[in-house]
Amino acid sequence: MLIDLDNFKQVNDSFGHRAGDAVLKEVAQRLAACVRRADTLARHGGDEFVVVISEVNAELTARSSPTRSCRAGGEFRVDGRTLTLGASIGISLYPADAGDGDALLRKRRRRDVPRQAAGPQPVPFYGR
C-alpha cells in the first residue's frame, strides 16, 4: 500500500521545512497507530509512505486492512496554524500484480489518481 500526501510541497514552500517535518512526523504516528505488528511501515521518500501488509490472501483482506481506515490526511496543527492535507492511497498485491517491490511501486505511480485516504472511497488496486 502506497500513501502519498497531496500538495505536500506547498507546506514546505509556504511554511518551511520545519513545518513539513512536523506534518511528516504526525502522519507517521497516525499510520503507526493503525498497522499490525506483522506489517511494515516506512517512509519511502519525500511525502510517500509504504505499508507492507503481510499475510494478505485476497483483495478483500487488503481492502479491509486497519490501515485503510487510518487518516493519513486531514488537519495538522503546526506552529499555531491549522493545515489541511489530503492523501492518495493505492494498493498492489504481490505476486499477482508484480514480481518485486520496485515494480509494485512503479505500477502505483504510473496510474496515480488522487484519492483521499481520509474518506470512505474505494481504494484503487494497481496492476490489473
Q: Which residues are catalytic?
A: 47
Chain CA centroid to CA 11, Å: 17
User: How distant, in Å, are the alpha carbons of 2, 31, 92, 127 from that of 124?
Assistant: 11, 19, 9, 10
Tell me how far apart the alpha carbons of residues 107 and 103 are, in angstroms, rounded to a whole number.
6
Tell me how far apart the alpha carbons of residues 111 and 93 are, in angstroms, rounded to a whole number.
15
Tell me how far apart the alpha carbons of residues 35 and 1 are, in angstroms, rounded to a whole number.
11
Helix (H, G, I), strand (E, B) or coil at 16: coil
